[in-house]
Structure 1
Amino acid sequence: MSRQNMVFGFSAIQLATMTLCLGAPLISQAQSAEPAGGPALPAVTVSAVRDADSPTGPGNGYVAKRSLAGTKTDTPLVETPQSISVVTREQMDAQAAQTLDAALRYTPGVYSQDNDLRFDQLSARGFDLDSYLDGLKLVKTATWFVTPRIDTSLLDRVEVLHGPASVLYGQAAPGGVVNMVSKRPTEEAFHRIDFQAGNNDRYQVGFDMGGPVDADGKVLYRVTGLGRYAGTQTDHVREERYAIAPSVTIKPGADTTLTILTSLQHDPAGGLFNPVPLAAASGINPNGRISSKSYFGDPQRDHMERTQGTLAYIFEHRFSDALTVRQNVRYLHDDIDYYQTSITGPLAADNRTVPIWSNINREHLTNFAVDNQAQIKFNTGALAHTTLVGIDYQRTLGGVNRGGAVTGSINIYNPNFAALSTAQITTFEDYSLTQVGAYLQDQVKLGNWSLQLGGRKDWTTSNDVQRTGAVTTVARQNDSAFTWRGGLTYQFDSGLAPYVSYAKSFQPTIGSNTGAAPFVPTTGKQYEAGVKFQPKNTDALFTLAVYDLRQQNVLTPDPVFPTRSVQTGEIRSRGIEFEAHANLTENLKAIASINKMVQDITRSNTATRGKRPVAQPGQMASAWLDYTIHGGSLDKLGFAGGVRYVGSSYGTADNLTTVGGRTLFDAAIHYDYDQHWKFALNAANLFNKEYLAYCSNGFLCYWGATRTVLATARYQW
């Protein structure tokens, strides 16, 4: 860690410690001396309850009504003038979501690469989604493979902020932010053990325990963990994971809370990816169609091992009803050891032979992030203000020893990997990234009107040093950007809340143009209008949104020097999204979503102008119903079912190759035997439909997830 990082980290921890000391009373009420002239008053204990409907809680059934993702303040979703989706803990359990991709399958406009076990690859509204954990970014490198991945069993909820979010989060893709919220200590004691088994030799055991440590409930704990050993739908590819996440909350006084979150995860087998030839997978190859189980990599050499650890705290102190300060801090370290062989290039003339690319990557990444906030509430006449002032900082240091080359070729119908040569490490790379951001947000209420205005200034610095043989290349880049957003909502007494908003984002672009000038960041801007409906007598939330989202300063070939790039490109996405989450009755819960997106390249120096970007479906829809019987001989027996439709996408930049759409069905049955035992059986892609999830070009495609069956037995006390 650099001296700068160490100093900043020490200052952040020192600030939290000083604030904690200032916020804690020297003598608590329970211990105070008897006042002169009379007996001591009875002790009063005040504690903040983190209930299911809190902005960091697991949600109430399938419905969450508050979130921190959109404003970083405890704001009802219906008051936030931007589309936000929340997947609750109960929804993840009901659908047996084992990955972040699976957890977001029923979220409108969110598309995943569906069957990549190595890391999450998510997009929304046609652009990448950036991943956050507890409001702090999970940094991933732009080029290589060291990427943190959080197991869903460690989470209470998942939030998606659709569209540009740089005003609160700094550099980010225009698609938006997915924020994962960690499980945290609870005030009520509970203990739970899960036993799971599924097809493809999948076995898993997990536990989740928590509650108060002391009689006064000033110290709370929680510890969550799992062990998993599983095969996959692809021959020779397996998944193995061991994780534990202890946490503790300390409440020295009614106005001060400190939550310490830790985690350690080891993936001896982190999964592999498996590109397949388009012609052979689609069945147009005269030699026959390949199976979705076939792995076109070397099972003897290929592996991916990940070790990941985090240490974080979330601190909050309320000085008064008007002033609250918060500080979120996290240290993360990630190591991977990765070797992968995979096909590269089209099939040869015999429609059997394909070249093989081999890469070796040994990588490490260290990230320190801190977000300092002050929330101030005040009135100016009839206007009620909630103002948020913040400064955040992150420092990332990483390195990779890597190499890659074409190491031979195979016959895809009778592969022989023994003839391949082994990739060797040829390049040593070290990189660093520093970002500092200052932001200001004001939420103003006047009667039924809610106005949000925010602005932010960011400064980023990156350094990259690569050594290949005797050649060393150094790239340094400094960027700065100002982003802002504004939104207006009106809440009718009926629960209807129409809104309009505008938001911007920025994302640094690595490299330089023909004149050796560094590329400026790409920018995103979005106009959104919609309506949210939270009925008074129904536990439900409905959202309808229309948007126009554009990414500018996109790289496109230089018309004079085609091997170089200029930043005159633009991509536009326009669409409409609908989402519903409802606990309709004690027996029936429902989720539904539908979206239609038109995305095209509006500016380019190539023939791609007017074309759609690859691997982005234009429409998706989904619905899920869960019915549980209450009373009678079948008391607490439940049935659930879902349907997911994903439309077609293009597999080549010229839009001449189309990947067909698909309709998939999910089902579940669950039964609460008594107060302690719960049993469930889930099936995703119930009818085992084989399909291509997407193609990245005219010859490389990827299979989607085939049928997954998972049986769960849960014991809790």
Structure 2
Amino acid sequence: MSSFRIALIASGAIVATPAFAEEPQAASAAEEIIVTGRAQRLYRVEQTTVGKAAEDPMNIPQAVQVINSELFADQGARDATDIYRNISGVSFFSYAGVTFRGFRQDQSFYDGQRGNPFIGFSVPQLFNVDRVEVLKGPAGLFFGPGSPGGIINYVSKTPKEETALRAVITGGTYDRVGLSAEATGRVDKDGVLTYRLGGFYESMDPYRRNTQNKTRIGDAGLSIRTNEGGKLTLQATLYDSAFQGNRLRGVLVDNAGNFLTTIRWNANEKTDFLNLRSEAYQARYATTIGERVTFDAGMRYFKATETQQYHEPRGLDPSNPDLVRREFRDQIRPVHGLSFMANLTARVDILGMEHKFQAGADWYDEKSLLHSRILRAGVTSLSLSNPVYGRGEGDAARAALLPFTTTDTRTKRKGAYLQDQISLTDALLLVGGVRYDKFDDGVTSSRNGAVLSRSSYADSDVTLRGGAIFKPRHDVSLYASWSQSFEPQSAASQNIDAGGPFAPVTGNQLEGGAKTQLFDGRLQANAAVYRIVRRNILQVDPSLQPVNGVDRLTPIGQVTSKGFELDLTTDVTPNWVLLVNYGYNDTRITGTAPGQAITNAVGDRFANAPKHKVGFWTRYQVPAIGTAFAVGGEHVSRRISLSGQTVKPYTTFDASITKGLGLVELLLRVDNIFDTVYAASGFSAQSGHFPGSPRTFLAELRLRF
């Protein structure tokens, strides 16, 4: 796009010219703004709601990280995959899934509730997200069923009383163009009503052949001050994504992890696509009752449909190692869900000690359908070295002659929790909590109106959490905790012939750590060490004979995850901020049946679980010229794929320049500076590894009023 190249050159010329003077400030005031602005206020959040109530992270006996919108902006982050490098213990797995303390985790929460509008194979976008809260380790007490690695909670942007308008014009390599705008402020002069409106559009032709991505987001919110200290917030968000040449799989590799062809290779035709249309609506009421009681309640409804027609790679042709066999898949995935929650917090003095009681309940009901048909016969193979596209464009018409197989999955969750945080002294806090959950799942498969299979399962479980926090000084917090998690077995595994019903998969974690806010908050360092044991994982039991052709299952799997994490945010100087995170993890299968495998594991190791992961981001600003320079990087150590193939270690670096021009700010960013060819994660021998993006350039012109 020649116009963009001209604009980019012009932007570079602007950066090279002297900066316009900013409003004069006293030297001491300017230094104070910079010092507290970068680490203390810009990148650090004083409170988090990841525990369902507003709390200082120093008072939470588990590792917590919060990534806020200021860091999104500084790093030019667009979607969830752009921020994983900032989170110790988290690395990319596939699509929206991550490896979290060694375990695969695909579930996300929004404002503390279930109801992720990015279903299936779509990645959460950050345009309307204010911050991302990460609670590491089991989160069963507050969030119910889930992976023991941790949870990710996306907190939405909401209306503000301050009038503000922000617009961003974007351009970059691969014909990337975009425009977004958001406005917030008062509806009436007293601020009883406040609003937020936002719109986002971006289009690009990525480096994989045949691909084109278009994303649109519309977001609107209205807040109503209902009483002194009380507010009702209503929000509606629409998402519309159209991805040509998708659903993207990987690029085939050899057993040593070397790509067999260029990372631009794609098994999809130009006529293939993945489209997501979803909408989410929520209402949240929060109020204070006196000085020591808070209450909030929320409702969230979402519905989404992901439609995809794509060519799935099925591995190399045994007779010609240059050809990749393919099949054509036509799938429609409609989903809708409704959730409610309520939380109450009360501070009560008993026997001279302050108790912070938290009580809450939540309810969730989801219906998910998958209409799928697969064309296997007559689908043309594709060359690795010289792919010729167009021969598979008629596969959609042939697949349309096949009947859909429909899988109808119903999920119901309801639970309640109670926690007490006791301040024995100003320096010693004890935490204890219990949660009860009941779940009801069902799966029905059918074709042409005839039921092929049906299974259901209902059960309940209790989750516990306990911890202690010791503060030898106000800016140092030492903690130890024990927490539990559970996950219901899939309803499809509850077949009586398979030996069902089965108790949930359970997990428990021991964790200890330290959190600091030294030198008036200019040095924030956190460290955590943990051990997670996960039990009751189902496997085929070879000692039992099949019943009616169904293999017998037994909960004989056990996995142990051990590791430690370090996170550092510091103002090296008043103008220089540094963020560094490191995670070490060793996840191994410690109990299994001979000759049987646990899902996502090969041998005794888990797929895409690196032992070492390092991320950093450092930003230096030069007030005299109104410019900030930043460099970041990530290192991920060797992993294995789902098929046991090596996923080679990689290290990448990024850099950016941000130029202030009064009400306008210009960001120039380059990702993967050295154009490193690497695999972001491994998948299977048939589908290959997911390649990381090559070197890309991004320019953003930001206008603030």
Please confirm whether the aligned pair reaches a TM-score higher than 0.5, indicating the same fold. Answer: yes
Is 1:311 aligned with 2:281? yes
In the alignment, the residues of structure 1 paired with residue 690 and residue 120 of structure 2 have an alpha-carbon distance, to the nearest angstrom, of 21
Q: Following TM superposition, by how much is the alpha carbon of 1:637 offset from its aligned partner in structure 2, in angstroms?
A: 0.7
Residue 167 of structure 1 aligns to a residue whose secondary structure is helix
In the alignment, the residues of structure 1 paired with residue 309 and residue 127 of structure 2 have an alpha-carbon distance, to the nearest angstrom, of 28
Q: Following TM superposition, by how much is the alpha carbon of 1:557 offset from its aligned partner in structure 2, in angstroms?
A: 2.3
Is 1:386 aligned with 2:366? no
Which region of structure 1 is more displaced relative to structure 2, 497-506 or 442-451?
A: 442-451
**8 A contact 2:417–2:434 mirrored in 1:** yes
**Unpaired runs of at least 5, structure 2:** 1-32, 34-38
In the alignment, the residues of structure 2 paired with residue 62 and residue 515 of structure 1 have an alpha-carbon distance, to the nearest angstrom, of 51
2:391 to 418, 427, 445: 418
1:320 to 259, 284, 290: 290
Which region of structure 1 is more displaced relative to structure 2, 559-568 or 209-218?
A: 559-568
In the alignment, the residues of structure 2 paired with residue 626 and residue 139 of structure 1 have an alpha-carbon distance, to the nearest angstrom, of 33
What pairs up with 1:563-712 in 2 under 5 angstroms? Answer: 563-607=551-595, 611-631=604-624, 634=625, 636-652=626-642, 655=644, 657-674=645-662, 676-699=663-686, 700-712=688-700
AA of the residue aligned to 2:617: W
In the alignment, the residues of structure 1 paired with residue 142 and residue 382 of structure 2 have an alpha-carbon distance, to the nearest angstrom, of 49
In the alignment, the residues of structure 2 paired with residue 147 and residue 691 of structure 1 have an alpha-carbon distance, to the nearest angstrom, of 21
Q: Following TM superposition, by how much is the alpha carbon of 1:140 offset from its aligned partner in structure 2, in angstroms?
A: 8.2
**8 A contact 1:63–1:540 mirrored in 2:** no
**8 A contact 1:277–1:347 mirrored in 2:** no
**8 A contact 1:355–1:406 mirrored in 2:** no
Is 1:462 aligned with 2:432? no
Other-structure match for 2:140: 166
AA of the residue aligned to 2:677: E
Other-structure match for 1:207: 181
The 3 A distance-change label for structure 1 pair 316 and 148 is farther
In the alignment, the residues of structure 2 paired with residue 171 and residue 291 of structure 1 have an alpha-carbon distance, to the nearest angstrom, of 41
**8 A contact 1:494–1:535 mirrored in 2:** no
AA of the residue aligned to 1:704: G
Q: Following TM superposition, by how much is the alpha carbon of 1:622 offset from its aligned partner in structure 2, in angstroms?
A: 1.5
**8 A contact 1:665–1:687 mirrored in 2:** yes
Q: Deviations over 1:208-256 (max 9, x none)?
A: 2101111111111111220111111211112111111111111132121
Other-structure match for 1:334: 304
Q: Following TM superposition, by how much is the alpha carbon of 1:581 offset from its aligned partner in structure 2, in angstroms?
A: 2.1
Q: Following TM superposition, by how much is the alpha carbon of 1:262 offset from its aligned partner in structure 2, in angstroms?
A: 1.1
1:526 to 497, 501, 509: 509
Q: Following TM superposition, by how much is the alpha carbon of 1:406 offset from its aligned partner in structure 2, in angstroms?
A: 2.5
Q: Aligned residue pairs: how many?
A: 642
Residue 440 of structure 1 aligns to a residue whose secondary structure is strand
Other-structure match for 1:348: 318
AA of the residue aligned to 2:314: T
Other-structure match for 1:31: none
Q: Deviations over 1:562-614 (max 9, x none)?
A: 84432111111100100112344441222100111111111122456862111
AA of the residue aligned to 2:281: L
Q: Deviations over 1:505-531 (max 9, x none)?
A: 111111136554223211111100011
Is 1:361 aligned with 2:331? yes
AA of the residue aligned to 1:522: V
Residue 147 of structure 2 aligns to a residue whose secondary structure is coil
In the alignment, the residues of structure 1 paired with residue 697 and residue 656 of structure 2 have an alpha-carbon distance, to the nearest angstrom, of 10
Which region of structure 1 is more displaced relative to structure 2, 208-217 or 314-323?
A: 314-323
Q: Following TM superposition, by how much is the alpha carbon of 1:282 offset from its aligned partner in structure 2, in angstroms?
A: 4.8
Other-structure match for 2:263: 292
Other-structure match for 2:251: 276
AA of the residue aligned to 1:559: P
Q: Following TM superposition, by how much is the alpha carbon of 1:281 offset from its aligned partner in structure 2, in angstroms?
A: 9.7
Residue 78 of structure 1 aligns to a residue whose secondary structure is helix
Other-structure match for 1:512: 494
AA of the residue aligned to 1:705: S
Q: Following TM superposition, by how much is the alpha carbon of 1:195 offset from its aligned partner in structure 2, in angstroms?
A: 0.2
The 3 A distance-change label for structure 1 pair 263 and 193 is same
AA of the residue aligned to 2:266: Y
**8 A contact 1:594–1:619 mirrored in 2:** yes
**8 A contact 1:218–1:251 mirrored in 2:** yes
Q: Deviations over 1:250-293 (max 9, x none)?
A: 11321211111110111122753122221399558xxxx41111
What pairs up with 1:442-481 in 2 under 5 angstroms? Answer: 442-446=420-424, 447-469=426-448, 470-481=450-461
The 3 A distance-change label for structure 1 pair 649 and 512 is same
In the alignment, the residues of structure 2 paired with residue 221 and residue 586 of structure 1 have an alpha-carbon distance, to the nearest angstrom, of 35
In the alignment, the residues of structure 2 paired with residue 459 and residue 652 of structure 1 have an alpha-carbon distance, to the nearest angstrom, of 32
TM-score by length of 2: 0.87
Q: Deviations over 1:451-499 (max 9, x none)?
A: 2111111111112221124443211111211111111111122512110
TM-score by length of 1: 0.86
**Unpaired runs of at least 5, structure 1:** 1-51, 53-57
**8 A contact 2:300–2:339 mirrored in 1:** yes
**8 A contact 2:362–2:415 mirrored in 1:** yes
Q: Deviations over 1:394-442 (max 9, x none)?
A: 0112222211243433333334552574434421232211111011111
The 3 A distance-change label for structure 1 pair 204 and 140 is closer
AA of the residue aligned to 1:672: G
Q: Deviations over 1:645-704 (max 9, x none)?
A: 100001256x5x321101100100011011x10001111211111112232334432212
What pairs up with 1:143-292 in 2 under 5 angstroms? Answer: 146=120, 149-269=123-243, 271-279=246-254, 282-283=257-258, 289-292=260-263
Which region of structure 1 is more displaced relative to structure 2, 261-270 or 367-376?
A: 261-270
Percent identity over the alignment is 23
The 3 A distance-change label for structure 1 pair 694 and 65 is same
Q: Following TM superposition, by how much is the alpha carbon of 1:59 offset from its aligned partner in structure 2, in angstroms?
A: 8.2
The 3 A distance-change label for structure 1 pair 433 and 304 is same
The 3 A distance-change label for structure 1 pair 254 and 140 is closer
Other-structure match for 2:476: 496
**8 A contact 1:641–1:666 mirrored in 2:** yes
In the alignment, the residues of structure 2 paired with residue 410 and residue 191 of structure 1 have an alpha-carbon distance, to the nearest angstrom, of 49
Q: Deviations over 1:13-46 (max 9, x none)?
A: xxxxxxxxxxxxxxxxxxxxxxxxxxxxxxxxxx
Q: Deviations over 1:71-98 (max 9, x none)?
A: 2222111111100111121111111111
**8 A contact 1:570–1:601 mirrored in 2:** yes
Residue 231 of structure 2 aligns to a residue whose secondary structure is strand
In the alignment, the residues of structure 2 paired with residue 92 and residue 134 of structure 1 have an alpha-carbon distance, to the nearest angstrom, of 18
In the alignment, the residues of structure 2 paired with residue 185 and residue 494 of structure 1 have an alpha-carbon distance, to the nearest angstrom, of 33
Residue 267 of structure 1 aligns to a residue whose secondary structure is strand
Q: Following TM superposition, by how much is the alpha carbon of 1:536 offset from its aligned partner in structure 2, in angstroms?
A: 4.2
Other-structure match for 2:527: 544
Other-structure match for 2:411: 433
Other-structure match for 1:29: none
Other-structure match for 1:73: 53
Other-structure match for 2:115: 138
Residue 82 of structure 2 aligns to a residue whose secondary structure is helix
Other-structure match for 1:100: 80
Other-structure match for 2:15: none
The 3 A distance-change label for structure 1 pair 559 and 472 is closer
Q: Following TM superposition, by how much is the alpha carbon of 1:355 offset from its aligned partner in structure 2, in angstroms?
A: 1.9
Other-structure match for 1:123: 99
Residue 266 of structure 2 aligns to a residue whose secondary structure is coil
**8 A contact 1:528–1:548 mirrored in 2:** yes
Other-structure match for 1:376: 346
Residue 278 of structure 1 aligns to a residue whose secondary structure is coil
